[in-house]
Amino acid sequence: MMTWSRKCTLIAGAALILATNAVALIGVAYNRGTETSVLKLSERELRAPRSGWREENSALEVGLDWRVLAEDPEDEFARGRYGAAWLDEPKLASLGVDVKAARRWNERWFRPLPEKAVLIVLELDGAAYQEALRRAQARAARDAALAAANPDQAQILRKAKRAEDALRREQTTASRLFAIDAGLDFASLRAKYPDATRYAVVRGLLKPSRIVANGKTRFTASLSDHSAAWINVPLELSAALERSSAPVSATIAFGKRFEPWIIAVSGRLDGSSAAVK
């Protein structure tokens, strides 16, 4: 009978480590073999690194700051990822959410619908952003007119100021990256949105939810990213960022598995830039 020696442990353990690393790195190479989308983002679309871990974590990571165009045009902020206008019941059903069954569920027996893994289409500076801008302008104009007609009404004046601030934010700092569609098949999404420099496809999660209002029940969902939540900035690029006070632009590629990586970043103050070959 063969006895298991310490040498066998070493060989088996080393083989396991090697094989697992090889599988992971081959996956990285496969993903980066083909760029499915490349977006050039400004600091408006890049989230600041997490602060809580900064003291313990020496690496730099950036997040994509994207949002959805809310169904309600009166939504002053439109910064969230909940209740996108296009995520109606037929769309949810096409993404595999069993809305019909959920509608049949007894009120007392109702349970949260499970999250679904989907592909999300992100649009950079497109029609969705223009609509968000138009809504902010319309709100600001309406509230300013109302304030002009009621100069002694403090509440109306405050509302007008808020709308003006929201418009300024929308024009200067708010993200122009919007989730505009979702699907389960990349090919059909790419056929619908062929411009790979304006539309990126990322892996995401869709969490359906039910809204009961005025005796009517309808379903919507919130979205979250899943493959592009935080993107590691390699040392070669983070050095360039650290010479600047704030990242201004980053070119981010998405591969075959929709996993992102940064191919270039640049900072504003000293004009430094770097790119990965």
Partner 1 sequence: MDIHSRVEAQQRADEIRVFQRELERLEHERVIALDDAQRAAIECHHQELLARYGKAFDIDHDAHAKQLSLGMRIASFIGALALAASVFFLFYQFWGRFSTAAQVAILLIAAFGALAATVLVQGRDETGYFTKLAAMVAFVCFVLNIAMLGRIFNLTPTDNALLPWAAFALLLAYTCDLRLLLVAGILCFASFIAARTGTFGGLYWLDFGERPENFFPAAVALFLLPQVVDHRRFAGFAATYRLFGVLTLLLPVLVLSHWGSISYVHADPDVIEGGYQVLGFTLAAGLAWLGARRRWPEVTNTGVTFFVIFLYTKFFDWWWDAMPKYLFFLVLGLTAVLFLLVLRRLRARGYRIFGGGG
Closer CB to partner 1, 3 or 155, in the complex: 3
The dihedral built from the CA positions of residue 147, 150, 151 and 157, taken in this order, carries a sign that is: negative
| Calpha distance 246→36 (Å, rounded) | 28
Of 70-78, 135-143, 213-221, 225-233: span binding partner 1 (CB under 8 A): 225-233
Residue 257 lies near partner 1 (rule: CB under 8 A): yes
Q: End-to-end CA distance of the chain: give it in Å, rounded.
A: 54
145 near partner 1 (CB under 8 A):
no
Question: Out of 13, 33, 80, 271, which residue is the one contacting partner 1 (CB under 8 A)?
Answer: 13
Answer whether 225's CB lies under 8 Å from 237's CB.
Answer: no
Q: Please identify, among the stretches 59-67, 80-88, 124-132, 157-165, the one whose residues bind partner 1 according to the rule CB under 8 A.
A: 59-67
- Is 154 exposed, middle or buried (CB count within 10 Å of its CB: 0-12, 13-18, 19+)? exposed
Residues 6+ apart with CB under 8 A from 266: 240, 244, 247, 248, 249, 250, 272, 273, 274
Give the pairing of strands 37-42 and 247-254: antiparallel
Q: Is 72 or 236 the residue whose CB approaches partner 1 more closely?
A: 236
**Least separation, in Å, of the C-beta of 22 and partner 1?**
11
Nearer to partner 1, 132 or 201 (CB): 201
Query: Which among 1-9, 81-89, 183-191, 211-219 is the span making contact with partner 1, rule CB under 8 A?
Result: 1-9
CB-CB contact of 65 with 45 (8 Å): yes
Question: Should residue 38 be labelled a site residue for partner 1 when binding is judged by CB under 8 A?
Answer: no
Is 209 near partner 1 (CB under 8 A)? no
Residue among 137, 232, 244, 249 that touches partner 1 (CB under 8 A): 232
> Shortest gap between Cβ of 228 and partner 1 (angstroms)?
7
The reply to whether 185 sits near partner 1 by the rule CB under 8 A is no
Q: Look up tokens 């509302």; give the residue.
A: 159
Positions 69 through 128 that interact with partner 1 (CB under 8 A): 105-106, 108-109, 111, 114-117
What's the Cα-to-Cα distance from 162 to each of 153, 176, 198, rounded to whole Å? Answer: 14, 20, 31
Q: Provide, rounded to whole angstroms, the least separation between the CB of residue 9 and partner 1.
A: 4
Segment contacting partner 1 by CB under 8 A, of 9-17, 69-77, 158-166, 265-273: 9-17
Structure tokens at 2: 């063969």
Distance CA 155, CA 12 (A): 72
Q: Would you list the DSSP string of 244-268?
A: SSSEEEEEEEE-TT--EEEEEEEES
Residues making contact with partner 1 (CB under 8 A): 4, 6, 8-10, 12-14, 16-17, 19-21, 24-25, 27-28, 31, 53, 56-61, 105-106, 108-109, 111, 114-117, 203, 205, 226-228, 230-232, 234-236, 238, 257-261
